[in-house]
Amino acid sequence: MAATTNRNHTAIPDIDAATERAREANDRITEAGRKVSAAYLDGVERYFTGLAKAERRFGEQTQFEAVGHLLNAHANLTEDIVKASVSATRELITA
């Protein structure tokens, strides 16, 4: 005689289990999105830091002192804006 197993065959799905699986999937997707966003922000920050550094070097090489000061001021402004924007965005991502 073959062994038989009792299986509970119901037409009603296990809502609690499905809800938990959906919640876990949502958490994994959210965490992946945070990681991608953080990597993107790191890239943006590096790009603008390099751009400001190049602008400062160009300002040091110019023959006109006023142009050098202007480029240095612009580089400082760029860095300040990027730092503030990236910092605020990082706070939104972690919230």
| Tens digits of residue pLDDT in 51-73 | 999 999 999 998 999 999 999 99
The answer on pLDDT for 34 being more than 80 is: yes
> What is the pTM assigned to this prediction?
0.71
Write the burial class of residue 94 (CB in 10 Å: 0-12 exposed, 13-18 middle, 19+ buried).
Answer: exposed
The answer on pLDDT for 1 being more than 60 is: no
Of 91, 93, 89, 86, residue with least CA distance to 49: 86
The answer on pLDDT for 6 being more than 70 is: no
Residue 45 confidence (pLDDT)? 95
